[in-house]
Structure 1
Amino acid sequence: MQQAKRKVFFAKTLLTILIIFSTSTFQYPQITIEQSEFLEIFMPGKPLHTIEGESGSINIGDTDGPNIYDFTFVDMQDTFMIFNYEVSTIPILAARYPSDAHTIGLNPSNLVNHPIFYSSNDSTFILGEATIENEYRFIHYLPYELYSKFPMTYGASFNQFIETWDTTYNLSWQVIQASFYTSQQDMEVDGYGTLKLPGFDLECLRQKRNYPDYGYKEFLYLTREGVFFIVTDVPDTEPDTGFVNGDYQVMFSSDFVSVEEIDAIPLEFALKQNYPNPFNPSTKIKFDIPANLKGIEGSPVSLRVFNALGNEVAILVHEQKSPG
């Protein structure tokens, strides 16, 4: 009888050990992003689609994982297109940055605080920022700001001390501003899971970038499919999980999805935020026209611009327009 009890006790103990062992050794499959997958968005000569928004309160999700990072509130049709350029194709930049670096913008003569990227064998850096518009502004980081080492995996981290040289010229190339400052940057891949956008569920890594000297941080969600979601301008007093105050931007390569017009008819009039801002040489304005009555194929539409004094300065649209 005692021997039978010992056998039962031994079997229960062995089963408990096996359960503990199997539970403790289980790991969520590691998500790895290669440099080529990250750079798919930033290929010189290719367009990329982007969406920007001021969300206010946005749920950035949790650390560790696996997590669901749900950004299905984004309107994937509300996009505008910008382009990737090799620095060598923009002479003003080629004189100041490596010719094999690259940047993004509406066109070579319309760059507004856009980053200059440079990639080596296993790392991608930001060399600085450039503005070519109503003035020339060139920012250089020393050493280069490390964007990430590759392959990128959960748990990776680094910190940097960066010197920033910032010079602005007028259109006659006279210096109108020059400054030098230093800052600390801390980066950690602190989460992983699924990035949810309308119609898409993609494996992702979450990268937190903290800029304590500037008082803000960013949360980046990177995928292998050429999709990049960023929550920006988050005060560093905000938490690293849950809801925070910030803006957002989505970038995705032209190869990821072809953006098509939605056939649905709007229910009400709407004037969308223009891009870029009104101080640029050109801007795009989207607007919605609802269907008013059955059988009416179009309505007279007028879109006019007024200055701060209430004076009409331009007529952009004045014609029949179909709902849409």
Structure 2
Amino acid sequence: MMQTPAYAYYPGCSQTGTAREYDLSVRSVFKALGMELAEVDDWSCCGSTPAHSLDTGLMAALAARNLKQVQKMGLEQALTPCPSCLGALRTASRHLVHPEKRAAMNELLDESLEEDVPSRSILQALLEDYGLDKLREQVVVPLKGLKAVPYYGCLMTRPADLMRFDNPENPTSMDETLKILGATVPEFPFKVECCGASLGVPRQEMVLRLSHNILSMAAQVGGNAVVVACPLCHQNLDLRQSQINRANKSNHNMPVLYITQAIGLALGLMPEELGLNKHAVSVRGLLDTISGDAAVEEKGAAS
């Protein structure tokens, strides 16, 4: 039997700090599914938002260094949980096809990158390589009590020619994933609206207003949790939720899950393995709802 090939796993900076729970859930879910991750040796910041805002060439070089590290590991592709990191890695790949940009990028590197290393998101690899049908077979705790509002944000599918995943204006990858996990998925008209992304410091009032609008619409469509796949989106909707309430005189108490945390719960993994104890907005009531509905269903099946 052929061994599952290892993916080079590029966690990115956020996943070692404010989004530690995302990293925990990614590693736990991939391990449970038998998908091997090998963390990129001596990885470094990809540049992403701060470098991109000043110099796209510098950002490409920072990202290219990490792709070179993947090559040195003998692996053929990189996976990352962060849409912003993915955009940076793919920008580096795009520079390779333009001789002038490639030369300028490699001029900044100790070891030049001459051949491309494909990169994908964690969710894309789960859907394309593992597949929803196979994932459905692994569900042991259907998320019957979860009314999950999938929020994709700006960067997960856009720019479309760079990200090349899902429909950029009406994505459904998380919708379909959550449905096979047993969750109820309401129609959500704000699924690709901006939450403010990385502008929480220079334009905090704007971020608090935009994020308030997303949480309000999530409640309006009947959701009891928002599900994301981006650390910036999670930070704005979860970590800043008390600030949102103060700024908008609202009373949001909406848990925000990463898609890998939802998958992990359905696989029967413990909340601590998924970092669910690290959220600013408590998920305890939501977990009680999910486990309670699962217990009722099990009791009904046994009677």
TM-score with structure 1 length normalisation? 0.25
Q: Larger RCO: Structure 1 or Structure 2 (Cα < 8 Å, ≥ 6 residues apart)?
A: 2
Q: Which of structures 1 and 2 has the bigger CA Rg?
A: 1
TM-score, normalised on structure 2?
Answer: 0.26
